[in-house]
Each structure stands twice: as structure tokens, then as C-alpha cells.
């Protein structure tokens, strides 16, 4: 069968080829009736405007690449969902890559996406940026989420320092005296660990001794169990824990329960993230809520500016809030 | 600055332009050393092969569209993660769209993606397919996940009937006498509800009366709470519940706990899905595990066949297994 042409569509719809083109590109005034006639004719002939060819002309793909560790993690699932929503509203489609803590896979994605397949990138991966030279010398518009990539690349995050202060101050205010902080060791070069620094500052301001334990991000459940059991063995006096992410905090609640501890009377717990899905599954967890919706909106806006040719750099720290639930007294 | 050409890359790398082209397209024998030299030269010059132009020549985009309700839901997050992994291994990139139970958004995606932006589609949305004419008359390769779209479109799912039998038989075997089933009302035209049918068949085979309650898929937490409270009010004798998805089952466990019921001694519970993330968060939930990895692999294989021009239709039902945990006696 011969591929139908725009003139065939025009004939069937009883309009001019210019009108067909205007319907396809949604250009100029068009009545609902004309749009329907042309779309019906397109459907009838199975005519598809060649968008790839048009993109080549405009040098735009109207597509954004998003790289995350994995959308299977509720935090990155929610982030990807929100980014896609706002990019869609802005007329962009979204290519998703799960870098899976695999530097080779991240580099392969970057090399291919940088080859003009996308107009811009949002990066939220956890691999070590020093081992990914593509970030050092790209002309591609890029925004990173909660990680520093390069001085030319703007970074959007929750206000990690304010969040760390909020959590620690709340535990103290509610009577906890022996507060421990657990943080993840990131595979990327995390220069600041601001949630931890805030915890340490608040503890010192109150004359309390800060104690931080660290474990690899997204460790296997058995390792997490050992990790929290070790903390309880080494610090039987602990009565408050600020955990740097909710997935870890949920496992901590399980370990505490297994050891016969009662939350919050024996132990008060605050996590970090506050993604709707995990909050729905574990509503008892108090947590510092990241403004994921605002973060996604901001990332989309910044990337659009870069795509238009504006120079954008710096850090965009968005305000957090505390969600108080029954894991606090 | 002038855009660098392939001949510039060849000069810097000290190889012929043909070799540069072979490296870009990974064609023919290439030593590690040659690849490194060429890639280094490409980086140095910030040279990007124009993939869009090459795609236009080949009529292939090497991109697949995946439409789900939302990747923020752990089931679809995991499914998307697995699909992306196997498509990546097969050389494809993945465009993701969250249809969000919004028929207009799903149709907009379809119209744009059908316009040659992708080589094929995987559809796992929950909107009513009768209201989406694009599925009725497309030449585009499509595979659906756990939902019937059209007789020409192959469908991959877990063996829902076997899963429903497995759950119900297990509850009976472990002594439950008053077993209720809760199922979701889907927005799409779900013709079979096989998990429910299997529950009914097994109950009747054992001389027990089947009782099914239904609620909209992905309802708000407050509605879910009312829903489960109503079941307990109307059936105080209930001692076993088979819930058609884990997110609902988790909320049921919360309601049972609030009412002072003890799981499993007062009430045994089996869910459906068994996604690693939810299992990690709520390890006590027994559930029918969908073979998501196999389902993703199968969908990728089928779609590749369709893209090569093979005709593929029919249903592919993959075997489930039971995960027994402390929500069962």
C-alpha cells in the first residue's frame, strides 16, 4: 500500500493542504469542525505526519531525558511522575533512563542523548560525577536534582540543612535526650551532607553529643537490619533517631518492633522525604517532607530557560515542612 | 564556533572518516584502542553524530513509548523499571507517559507517538479503551500489559485465574471459613475479572459462599478506610480476606489494627502483586507474586517481533507464586 500524503488527506477531508498542515501544527484559527474533519480523514487513511522530519528542520526534538537511579524507588517514581507532568504541560515528552548505579549505563545514555536526541536533561542519578566526563564539558541544557554535577549546571533540592535542623530540634523539643542520626553513604561525590551537618550543629547548640552512623544508599534489607541492630546494641540508651530517608526509617521501625521496643514511648523516629506513596503505606512515620511538586516545577522552568539560551547556574533550595505522626510523642 | 564534522574527528583521532562512522554505529571489527581514540576526539571537539538525521534515513527511532497510569505507583514503577532495562539491552530508549486516568492525556500521547516518534508502544493504562479509537486502527506495533485493548494487540499478564485460585485455596487450607474478596473497579472495560472468578469458583467448590466487595482502583486513603470498616461492620465473622492488590491489602492491615484485630489469629490476609518495594516496606503481607521480570521480558520480546514485521496476537499468561508471610497462620 502506498503511504498516504498530505494532499490525500486534504482531498478526503474536503479542505486545502494548507489547512491540513495547520491542523497538524495547530497553527492559526481552526474551527472544531475543521479539526474533526481533518483528523477523521487522517485516521481513515492512517496518515501520520512525519514528526521526526519536522524536528530535524527545527533542530528541536521537544524531548527531555531524565536519568534516575531507578523509578522502582518510590522517591524517584514520584519525582519522575511530577517531572513528566510538568514537561508534558510545557509540550515536551520525556525519555527515562534508570542508571541503576551503573556508571557504564549512565555514560551510554549520556552519549546517546547528547547526540541531539533530546533538548535537555534532568539528572538525579547516584553515580560518581567525577567518573562521568560528559558532565564536565557539555553544551546541552542540564538541571540536576539534589546533587552537584558541575559549576555550570544548576541544582534543585529541598533545603537539606533546614530539614536536618527541623528534625533534630523537634526530637529535642519532644523530650529525646539520646538522639542518633543515620545517613546514607552516596556513591556520588557528596560534598556537603547538609542533613548531617544540621543535626550536628543543633546537637552541639543544645550541649548534646552528635552520633552519626552511615550505610550505603539503598542497601539490601538484611544489611539494613544488621545496621540498625548494631546501633541499638551499641547505644541501648537511644530514645530518638533522625533517619536521612524514609525507606531506611521504615526498616528501622521494623527492627525496633522486632526488639520489643515501643514507638514513640521508647523511641521517637523522624525520617526524610515524605513521598505520598510511602506515607500512605506507613502513615505512622513522622518525616521531613520534601516539596517534590515544587522541585519538579522549578527544574522544568530552569531547563526551559536553558533551552531558550539563557544562562542558569546555582543552587535552588526549596522549603521543607515537618509531618508529625505517631512515631513522635 | 563552527560545528565539528566527522572529518575533523577523523583528523584528530588519526583514523579515516570511515572508521569514525564505524565507531559511531558500532559496525564491523573495532579494537578497544580505536574506539577510545575516536571517542576521545569526539569529546575533545564536542562532536555529536546527528542521530535524528540517521533515524530519518532508517525510518527507525529506536525508541519505545510506555504508557502507565503513573510511575509513582510502586507496581507501575517496578514495571517501567524492568521494561526500560530490557529495552535498553535491546538497543531501545524509552519514552514514558503517565496517563493519570486522563483519557485526553492518553489520546494526546498516542496521537503524537503514533506520528512516527516511536517504533512501538507498551500500554498499561487504566482508561477505557472504547473511548480511545487510536487502539482500534493502528499499524503501530503495540503490546498491552494486563488489559485487553483490541483483538490485534497481544496482551501480557500474570495468570490471574491461577493466582485467584492459589490465594483462596491457601486461605481455606489454613483454616479460614468466612473468606471475603475485595477487587478494584477498573476504569477500562475489564471483561473478565479473573482473580474474582477464581475466588468464586474455589469457594463454591468448597461449599462456601463467595462475597465480593468492589472499590475504585487507587481510591483515596479515607475512602479505602471507610470501605474496609464497612466490610468488618457488615461481616463481623470474617476470618480471611483475599485483596486483589497489595496497596489495598496494606490499608486493610491498618484498618484491622485500628479495630484491635490481630493478624493472623483473628484475620488472615493475602494480597496480589508482590512488588519488591512494597514487600520491603510491609514484609508481613502474604501475597500472590506477579512475575514482573518475566512479564517485562516477554513484552519486550513480543514488541521486537512486531517491529520486525511478524504478526503477534493473543494472551500470554505467566505463572504466579505465593509469598507466605506472617499475615497467614
Q: Give the span between the Cα atoms of A168 and A182, in whole angstroms.
A: 12
Average pLDDT (B184-192) is: 72
Distance CA B91, CA B51 (A): 14
DSSP type of residue A319:
P
**H or E element at residue A150:** none
CA–CA gap between residue A135 and residue B43 (Å, rounded): 11
Which one of A7-11, A149-153, B134-138, B179-183 scores highest in mean pLDDT? B179-183
Q: Is the pLDDT of residue B34 over 70?
A: yes
A74 CA: distance to closest CA in chain B (Å): 6
Determine the residue among A4, A281, A285 to mutate to test chain B binding: the one whose Cβ has the most chain B Cβ atoms within 10 Å.
A281
What sign does the CA torsion over A226, A232, A235, A241 have? positive
CA gap A111, A176 in Å, rounded: 50
Instruction: Of A254, A286, A256, give the one whose Cα is nearest residue A273.
Output: A286
Q: How many residues does chain B have?
A: 329
Query: Cell 546514607 belongs to which residue?
Result: A184
For residues A140 and A149, what is the distance between their CA atoms, to the nearest angstrom? Answer: 13
Q: Is A91 on the interface with B (CB under 8 A)?
A: no
Tell me the three state secondary structure of residue A276. helix
pLDDT for res B239: 97
Coil, helix or strand for A56? helix
d(CA A219, CA A187): 12
Average pLDDT taken over every residue of chain B: 90
For residue B242 the three cell numbers come to 483475599
Q: Does residue B4 register a pLDDT over 90?
A: no
What is the spatial distance between Cα B175 and Cα B104, in angstroms, rounded to a whole number?
48
Start-end of H helices in B191-282: 194-205, 221-234, 246-258, 276-281
Q: Could A81 and B98 be called an inter-chain contact, meaning their C-beta atoms sit closer than 8 Å?
A: yes
Please state, as a whole number, how many other Cβ atoms lie within 10 Å of the Cβ of residue A70.
24
Q: For residue B94, how many C-alpha atoms fall within 13 Å in the half-sphere facing its CB?
A: 29
Q: Hey, of A93, A114, A228, which one would you mutate to test binding to chain B, going by the most B CBs within 10 A of its CB?
A: A93
Specify the residue for cell string 517504533.
B119
Of the pLDDT bands very low, low, confident and very high (cuts 50, 70, 90), residue B318 is very high
Query: Which of A74, A98, A137 has its CB closest to that of B46?
Result: A137
For B71, the closest of A55, A81, A100 (CB atoms) is A81
At residue B211, the 3 state secondary structure works out as strand
- Dihedrals phi, psi of A8, to nearest 5 degrees: -65, -40
Predicted local confidence at residue B143, as pLDDT: 96
Is the confidence at residue B116, as pLDDT, over 90?
Answer: no
pLDDT of residue B217: 79
Q: Is the backbone peptide bond immediately before B120 cis, with ω within 30 degrees of 0?
A: no
- Interface A–B counts its CB contacts (< 8 A) at 141
> Residue A187 has what pLDDT?
67
Whether residues A81 and B70 touch (CB distance < 8 A) is answered with: yes
Of residues A27, A89, A80, A38, the one with CA closest to residue A62 = A89
Whole-number CA gyration radius for chain B = 25
Residue B55 has pLDDT above 70, yes or no: no
Of B51, B85, B281, the CB nearest to A278: B281
Q: Are B278 and B74 in contact (CB under 8 A)?
A: yes
Chain B residues with beta carbon closer than 8 angstroms to that of A80: 71-72, 96
CB contact, 8 Å: A57 with chain B? no
- In chain B, which residues have their Cβ closer than 8 Å to the Cβ of A280? 221, 247, 251
Residue B317, beta-bridge partner list: B157
B 123-142 → A contacts, CB under 8 A: 133, 137-139
Full set of structural domains in chain B with CATH: 6-49 (1.10.260.40), 58-157+293-318 (3.40.50.2300), 160-290 (3.40.50.2300)
pLDDT at B196: 95
Rg (chain A; Cα; Å):
25
Taking a C-beta distance cutoff of 8 angstroms, is the pair A241, A267 a contact? Answer: yes
Residue B48 has pLDDT above 90, yes or no: no
Question: Which residues of chain A does B117 touch, with a Cβ-Cβ cutoff of 8 Å?
Answer: 51-52, 93
Q: What are phi and psi of B251, to 5 degrees?
A: -70, -35
Contact between residue B157 and residue B146 where contact means Cβ atoms under 8 Å apart: yes
Residues 247-286 of B with CB under 8 A from A: 247, 250-251, 254, 275-278, 280-283
All residue ranges of chain A with pLDDT < 50 are: 1
Q: Do B117 and A43 touch (CB under 8 A)?
A: no
> What stretches of chain B adopt beta strand conformation (E)?
63-68, 93-98, 120-123, 142-145, 155-158, 179-185, 211-216, 240-243, 268-273, 286-289, 315-318, 321-323
Segment among A20-29, B283-292, B297-306 with least mean pLDDT:
A20-29
Cell numbers at residue A25, please?
Answer: 501544527
CA distance B268 to B263: 6
> ipTM above 0.90?
no
Taking only residues 138 to 197 of chain A, the set having a beta carbon closer than 8 angstroms to any beta carbon of chain B reads: 138-139
Give the integer Cα–Cα distance in Å for B46 and A116: 12
Question: So what's the pLDDT on residue B61?
Answer: 85
* C-alpha closest to that of A112 among B36, B25, B56, B117: B25
Q: Which long-range contacts (CB under 8 A, 24 or more apart) does B101-105 make?
A: B101/B69, B101/B126, B101/B127, B101/B187, B101/B218, B102/B127, B103/B127, B103/B128, B103/B131, B103/B132, B105/A88
**CB of A46 within 8 Å of any CB in chain B?**
yes
Measure the CA–CA gap between A164 and A152, rounded to whole angstroms: 27
Share of chain B above pLDDT 90, in %: 64
Q: Which three cell numbers stand for residue B95?
A: 519514552
Report the run of H or E that residue A267 belongs to, with start and end: none
Query: Distance between CA atoms of A202 and A220, rounded to whole angstroms?
Result: 31
Distance CA A250, CA A270 (A): 10
Q: How far is B204 from chain A (nearest CA, A)?
A: 33
CA distance linking residue A122 with residue B252, whole number of Å: 37
Q: Do B117 and A51 touch (CB under 8 A)?
A: yes
Stretch B173-181: mean pLDDT, rounded? 97
- Position B37 scores a pLDDT of 87
Distance CA A165, CA B165 (A): 52
Of A43, A49, A251, nearest to B137 by CB-CB distance is A43
Q: Output the pLDDT for position B188.
A: 66
Question: Residue B88's closest chain A neighbor by CA?
Answer: A97
Q: Which helix (H) or strand (E) element contains residue A118?
A: none
- Highest average pLDDT, of A111-125, A275-289, B2-16, B90-104, comes from A275-289
C-alpha distance from residue B259 to each of A247, B65, B230, B231 (Å): 26, 45, 12, 12
Q: Does B212 reach chain A within 8 Å, measured CB to CB?
A: no
Query: B49 and chain A: CB distance < 8 Å anywhere?
Result: yes
Query: Per residue in A106-138, pLDDT tens?
Result: 988 888 888 768 999 999 988 777 778 888 777
Cα nearest neighbour of A253 on chain B: B281
> Under a CB-based contact definition with an 8 Å cutoff, are residues B312 and B158 in contact?
no
Amino acid at each position: 500500500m502506498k503511504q498516504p500524503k498530505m494532499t490525500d488527506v486534504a482531498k478526503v477531508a474536503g479542505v486545502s493542504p494548507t489547512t491540513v498542515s495547520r491542523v497538524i501544527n495547530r497553527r492559526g484559527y481552526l474551527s472544531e469542525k475543521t479539526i474533526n474533519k481533518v483528523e477523521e480523514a487522517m485516521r481513515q487513511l492512517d496518515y501520520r505526519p512525519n514528526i521526526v522530519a519536522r524536528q530535524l528542520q527545527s533542530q528541536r526534538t521537544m524531548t527531555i531525558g531524565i536519568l534516575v537511579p531507578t523509578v522502582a524507588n518510590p522517591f524517584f517514581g514520584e519525582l519522575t511522575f511530577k517531572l513528566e507532568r510538568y514537561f508534558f504541560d510545557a509540550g515536551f515528552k520525556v525519555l527515562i533512563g534508570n542508571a541503576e548505579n551503573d556508571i557504564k549505563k549512565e555514560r551510554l545514555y549520556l552519549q546517546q542523548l547528547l547526540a541531539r536526541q533530546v533538548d535537555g536533561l534532568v539528572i538525579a542519578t547516584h553515580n560518581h560525577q567525577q567518573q562521568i566526563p560528559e558532565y564536565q564539558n557539555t553544551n546541552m541544557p542540564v538541571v540536576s536534582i539534589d546533587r552537584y554535577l558541575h559549576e555550570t549546571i544548576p541544582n534543585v533540592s529541598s533545603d537539606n540543612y533546614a530539614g536536618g535542623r527541623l528534625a533534630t530540634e523537634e526530637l529535642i523539643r519532644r523530650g529525646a535526650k539520646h538522639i542518633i542520626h543515620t545517613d546514607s553513604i552516596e556513591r556520588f561525590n557528596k560534598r556537603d551532607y547538609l542533613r548531617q551537618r544540621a543535626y550536628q550543629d543543633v546537637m552541639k547548640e543544645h550541649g548534646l553529643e552528635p552520633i552519626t552512623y552511615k550505610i550505603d544508599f539503598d542497601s539490601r534489607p538484611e544489611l539494613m537490619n544488621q545496621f540498625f541492630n548494631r546501633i541499638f546494641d551499641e547505644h541501648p540508651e537511644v530514645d530518638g533517631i533522625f533517619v536521612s530517608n524514609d525507606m531506611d526509617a521504615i526498616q528501622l521501625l521494623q527492627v525496633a518492633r522486632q526488639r520489643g521496643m515501643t514507638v514513640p514511648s521508647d523511641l521517637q523516629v523522624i525520617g526524610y522525604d515524605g513521598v505520598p506513596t510511602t506515607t500512605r503505606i506507613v502513615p505512622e512515620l513522622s518525616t521531613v517532607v520534601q516539596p517534590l511538586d515544587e522541585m519538579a516545577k522549578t527544574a522544568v522552568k530552569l531547563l526551559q530557560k536553558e533551552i531558550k539560551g539563557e544562562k542558569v547556574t546555582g543552587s535552588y533550595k526549596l522549603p521543607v515542612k515537618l509531618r508529625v505522626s505517631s512515631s513522635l510523642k
